[in-house]
Amino acid sequence: MEHTCQNQHENETIAERLLIVRRRAGLSQSDFAKSVDVIPRSYRNYEAAVRDVPLALAINVHRKFDVDLNWLLLGMSPSVTLPAPDVYEKILLAMEGFQRTRAIEFSPHKKAKLISFLVGQFASGREMSEAEIFDYLETTV
């Protein structure tokens, strides 16, 4: 039983990393599946951690999207590159604008946590507009 739970956790981790790669590529599940020579329904099962990810799929993702196999399969190297410098600027400007419009000031500790979260969102492939950043910051006040 313990072995099954461990395998399930490993599959979820690989599934999460597949999702990161797909989002970074800006592709739908169907388009991503086709690009790595997999039937879309099968790919959905891999990304949902319903099925084990075959080695052939991992190799195709590695070759077509320049993904480190150690990271994809084992999580052993950095999952994503840091966002471009303009992302940091976008986050900081949005945060400053939010504080100005709400007449508040986040503590340095809270700012660090908020910036870390937002950078992580961008690094995982999610694009956020200034309005979306404001909406997120609104939930933290």
Query: 98 to each of 83, 115, 139, how far by Cα in Å?
Result: 21, 13, 12
Which tokens hold the place of 136? 């997120």
- Taking only the tens place, the pLDDT of each residue in 94-120 is 999 999 999 999 999 999 999 988 988
Q: Which amino acid is at 75?
A: G
- Taking only the tens place, the pLDDT of each residue in 22-72 is 998 889 999 999 999 999 999 999 999 999 999 999 999 999 988 888 888
Burial of 98 (0-12, 13-18, 19+ CB in 10 A): buried
**Model pTM?**
0.49
